[in-house]
Amino acid sequence: MDIFCKIINNEIPSYTIYEDEIVKVFLDVNPHAIGHTLIVPKKHYQDFFDIDEKTLTHILKVAKEISNRIKERLNCDGITLAQNNGLGQDVKHYHLHLIPKYYKEEKLSIEEVYNKLK
């Protein structure tokens, strides 16, 4: 069982900022930027080639909602959506990164970011 399955099953704690029947959205504990967030489907899919279109569509809908929340609450200047497959994929469970971009990044702890985004 991969780390994301354990997070989804609440075997490992996470800074979850959104959850529904299809996805769990939580802060990356090793962020590339303040507010780096992961959207992970609850059903295990290995990668982009394995996931069904209905789930992908839902993930993109959630990505738009959460990206707007990040932009409004963390005042970022842009957001990169990234998704790796195969060789570039550290965790073999489909996930979409939302990585905020800043001209000047504020220094916040993960707890402070969580409190702004939850």
What are the tens digits of pLDDT across the range 74-89?
999 999 999 999 988 8
36, 93, 95, 97: the catalytic one is 95
Band (31; pLDDT cuts 50, 70, 90): very high
Determine the pLDDT at residue 1: 82
The overall average pLDDT reported for the chain is 96
Is residue 44 among the annotated active site residues? no
Q: Write the burial class of residue 54 (CB in 10 Å: 0-12 exposed, 13-18 middle, 19+ buried).
A: exposed
Domains of the chain, with CATH numbers? 3-117 (3.30.428.10)
- Say whether pLDDT at 10 is over 90: yes
